[in-house]
Amino acid sequence: MILKWKGDSMATYNQEQQQLIDASLTHKVVGVAGAGTGKTTTILGRTQRILKEFNTGKVVLITFTRMAANDMRQRLMRQLNEKDARRVTVGTFHSIIGQLIRENAVDIGLQPSFSIIDENSTNVMYQSIIENNDTYYDLFTEWFIGPEGNPIDPKHTKLLKKDFKKFSDAISTMVNTSYPNELMTGQFGAETKNRLSKIWGYPPEMIDALLPTYHAIFKDSLALGRETNTVNYDHILFIGYLMTKSGMLDSYSDSIVHMIVDEYQDTNLLQDAFVRAVGGNKLTIVGDVDQAIYEFRGGKAELIDEHAKEAEVVNLTLNYRSFQPILDIGNTIIQKNESGKDIRQPLRANREFGEEFGGILQTHALFDKQESDHIISRIKFLMSKGVSTNDIAILVRSRMSIASINMALQKNKIPINDTTKFADFMKSDVMRDTLNFIKIFTNPKDIYAFMGILDRPKRGLGAKAIQTLQENAANHTLSVVEYLLSEHITELKPAMRKKVQSFVDVYQTLIDPNNQHMSLPDMVAYVLKETGYVEWVNGLKNNETHKRNFEILKGMVADFTKEYDEQHENYTLFDIANAFTFEMTSSIRQEDKDGVTIATIHGSKGLEWKHVIILGMEQENFPGNKVVDDADMESERRLMYVAVTRAKDSLWLCQSDHRITYGEQELTPSQFLDEAGELIVKKL
């Protein structure tokens, strides 16, 4: 065993970890890191070795989520001196490429002040493109309403907002699933078409009909982005790819001594192209094919296998999280997958058996209410032994499985941390409106942000008013915001001028050079107060949620400011406001809550609990009912593997013959229970 770098939480590296740390720095390296094997700690150790080997040059660490990036950055700052810390860039693909786009904005046809548009604005953007092109509109009307204007719903005679959202989601999937050259040319191969057919649920003939139009709209959206100085979140990766193709990032690549990319099993084709172009052979990729569960977002686990053929491969198999019987179940199920078989090695436990081991259980219930009673009894037993509810998780393949247990937990007054709810703070009105206010400050051409906040709070300014402002502004070759700040505003009727005046006053205050010393928290507080937004929200019925969201926002702004302070010097209000909107547009923050965690398996990735309960162990539920081929089954098996390997001390697999959400339908046990077989030590 070898001593770790000072500051880390564990005392030693094991032999496998040290092998990855010491691997080549001039030849590509693939780290196959199983669940719970100390992957992040090893990456940090390798980073420190790189810094020691090279006195100059950058090290780039790319992670899959902002949360993971922040965690890694904080750990590095505790371990490195200031000089070395500034040589390391840590971020997600989108944050790193987004910064490169900003640095090269003028060469791309943008201004450095460009803003990232969120999901709502993206839907509006695609709606405007489709509605302003008769060919697009007629095609989609025929496909989604019918040639006679006679859809299933007789009232549905024109394209609706939900239809435009569907188009927006479809184009996003196309961008994140396709090969870069396909996006360049619009010529899509059979492999991509098959993937899109599965994800979209469209027959092959419809894929062939729609793809050319989707690609044309995608190209139009790139052009519209240059006009409005905005970048669609899904465009960031493609623009990054274009920059590598043009040679624009050659000097950036030359400045890097090594690139490390984590969670490579979730990497899509555009991200892979960027890594190959910028990282070259100065590259370490770390991932686990068996934990690839984001194919629907474009993740392509096979990329690890492809890199492994031309790289030094190091396996991390010593698991510090779980007891061996838990790992045995995961190993047994996942070994049936063909993908990854050439590089897969079974996980082995570092933990020795002790009283903490709670066993592997299986419950068979006639109804999910009976199942819930068993689970409640188990949770109460664990609590009586001093186990915190924070150490217990209930994982589900589908949200349809949680109705009964949710009610049972509430009835028994057991605290719940339900991460499956759609009503996430990041999508709340308070967060969205605040970001739009700040985006307008940093990018006056962002018409989507402007449309989002012109009537927030309510001023009686609807679509007609926005159209008038757009037309007047266009007549003077100005953006709407520039028009409102100009002498031409006198063209407006007095009533309309009065309605927009509070917005104009706030904006003028923010852009005053004398106010550039204002902090981001002060800016947010000022905007929300002076626009009348806080007063308006407080006057709404049932405003407790809004008030709570204000508090969350306050904390989030403070946290971001602290992080930004640690990484930057001599920045302006404009700089931090721009960075804040970028990060928040691309982030979803889950509020930390005490209680038994209820999470989807997708949402559990990267987390762990002492005691894990997996619900819905029935065929057609888990594995899911959309399995049509071996590839689909392999995906389901990877999900099961991820769920199992979240457990540290005990694992409980729950199967019920009937569930509320499935009505009278009788369910059969999941095939994963058979595959686990005798490894399940106790059945109830």
- pLDDT one-digit tens code per residue, 157-199: 677 788 888 889 999 999 999 999 999 999 999 999 988 988 8
Model confidence at 153, pLDDT cuts 50, 70, 90, reads low
Q: Is the pLDDT of residue 248 over 50?
A: yes
pLDDT of residue 41: 93
Distance (Å, rounded) from C-alpha 388 to C-alpha 382? 8
Give me the helix-helix angle, 235-246 and 161-177, nearest 10°. 40
- Report which secondary-structure segment, H or E, holds 131: helix 119-131
Question: Are 322 and 37 contacting, i.e. CB atoms less than 8 angstroms apart?
Answer: no
pTM of the model: 0.83
Q: Report the pLDDT averaged over residues 512-527.
A: 81
Torsion angle, CA of 539/545/551/552, rounded to 10 degrees?
-140
User: Which of 146, 172, 170, 171 minimizes the C-alpha distance to 157?
Assistant: 146
The number of residues making up the chain comes to: 684
Burial letters for 429-440: b for 16+ Cβ neighbours within 10 Å, e otherwise?
Answer: ebbbbbbbbbbb
Q: Is the pLDDT of residue 128 over 70?
A: yes
Model confidence at 422, pLDDT cuts 50, 70, 90, reads very low
123 CB-near residues (< 8 Å, 6+ apart): 161, 164, 165, 168
Which pair of tokens denotes residue 490?
Answer: 């006198």
pLDDT of residue 587: 52
Q: Is the pLDDT of residue 648 over 90?
A: yes
Question: Are 21 and 42 contacting, i.e. CB atoms less than 8 angstroms apart?
Answer: yes
pLDDT of residue 560: 83
Question: Are 645 and 633 contacting, i.e. CB atoms less than 8 angstroms apart?
Answer: no
pLDDT of residue 52: 94
Q: Report the pLDDT averaged over residues 459-486.
A: 83
Per-range mean pLDDT, top range of 46-60, 284-298, 431-445: 46-60
Q: Is the pLDDT of residue 155 over 80?
A: no
Distance (Å, rounded) from C-alpha 473 to C-alpha 281? 51
Sheet bearing 312-316, strands edge to edge: 88-92, 58-63, 256-261, 283-287, 29-33, 312-316
Model confidence at 509, pLDDT cuts 50, 70, 90, reads confident
User: Which of 610, 632, 622 minimizes the C-alpha distance to 653?
Assistant: 622
* 117 DSSP β-pair partners: 232
Which pair of tokens denotes residue 294?
Answer: 């984001």
Q: Where are the alpha helices (DSSP H) in 454-543?
A: 463-475, 480-484, 494-511, 520-530, 533-538
Which pair of tokens denotes residue 439?
Answer: 């985006």
pLDDT of residue 10: 42
Model confidence at 406, pLDDT cuts 50, 70, 90, reads confident
Question: Are 62 and 96 contacting, i.e. CB atoms less than 8 angstroms apart?
Answer: yes
pLDDT of residue 298: 85
Count the alpha carbons within 13 Å of 252 in the hemisphere toward its beta carbon.
22
At residue 556's C-alpha, the angle toward residues 168 and 58, to 5°, is: 80
Beta carbons within 10 angstroms of residue 48's beta carbon: 22
Beta carbons within 10 angstroms of residue 50's beta carbon: 22
* 261 DSSP β-pair partners: 62, 285
Distance (Å, rounded) from C-alpha 84 to C-alpha 589? 29
Among 18-22, 439-443, 581-585, the minimum mean pLDDT is found in 581-585
654 φ, ψ (degrees, to nearest 5): -115, 125
